[in-house]
Structure 1
Amino acid sequence: MSDRHATQHRNNPAIDEAKAQAKALRIALQAQGHTVNHAAALELVARQHGARDWNTLHSRLGQRNDPPAPNCGERVKGAYLGQIFTGTVVAVSGPLSHRQIEIRLDEPVDTVRFESFSNKRHQIRGTIDETGRSPRKTSDGVPHLVVERLAT
């Protein structure tokens, strides 16, 4: 696990760990004479982990155990319609098995294979699965889009 991912793991516990932290907080506050219900304790734990509220933290933690998928701002490399690229993720959404991703490319790629004309793209958008590959393929069976994180 990289240092960045190890830090991210420490800062974002599993959902069960966060719930246990809320329970321990509630018990500790109660021992000091402060009555806090479980929902309020969950909100406090969420803020401790940098989330706006419990629902935000819960969503973030639910995705933590997913295989690594690039997040906004991360550097990536891959291939789009057979063209090799590097770039920065500018948008990502959706479930792990059908994730929408948008990437601003460092250098434009030509999406046309004909010599008589070209269509250069500075930004690309596609759908990837948990392996970083597009379910859609070209006529020769190659995924439209393949994405992986750049090693830092």
Structure 2
Amino acid sequence: MRSLIEEYVYARWLGAVLCADLNAADPLMVAVAERWVALTKPEETEEHRYALAAVKAAEKALERFAEDRKEGIYDGAMGRFFPRIVSEAEADLSNALRRASDFNGTVDLTLFDDYDALSEAWQAADGDLRRDLIRLAIDKVTVTRGQRRGAPFDGDVRCVITWAAPERND
């Protein structure tokens, strides 16, 4: 029974990946791209996350300075330090944005747009890599019991596939 489920899931995965539009920011392909980069370039993915966190921290620092100024913290004698502090915070933000932009290159997804290449990669993959490939586009597969013992397997009735969605970077 396991082989029937695996064949069904693979066929659905293959169909969904090949039908997704690479050029139209299809949510499934965005998720596949994010996960493909994480799978093939894990060090760069981690560095990119750190760079995005630095951007958010720098943006929050500038926002905090603006709120503090509005509340009068930089009135009087402290006011002379405000331009320097803001200038440093803006430089930090600029550097963080530059670092984050280093990771905004294109991701080569041509493998996922070519049936023959994708099928060949699947056939050449071992069990672990096949599971990794499936996880690029599928978050979860739920398989229910058959209606009766000995009934032929019907994946459309018994399998519920939860497709991958892009990560939210807010």
One fold, TM greater than 0.5? no
Higher strand share: 1
**TM-score, normalised to structure 1's length?**
0.26
Judging by fraction of residues, say which structure has more helix: 2
TM-score (norm 2): 0.24
Larger Rg belongs to: 2
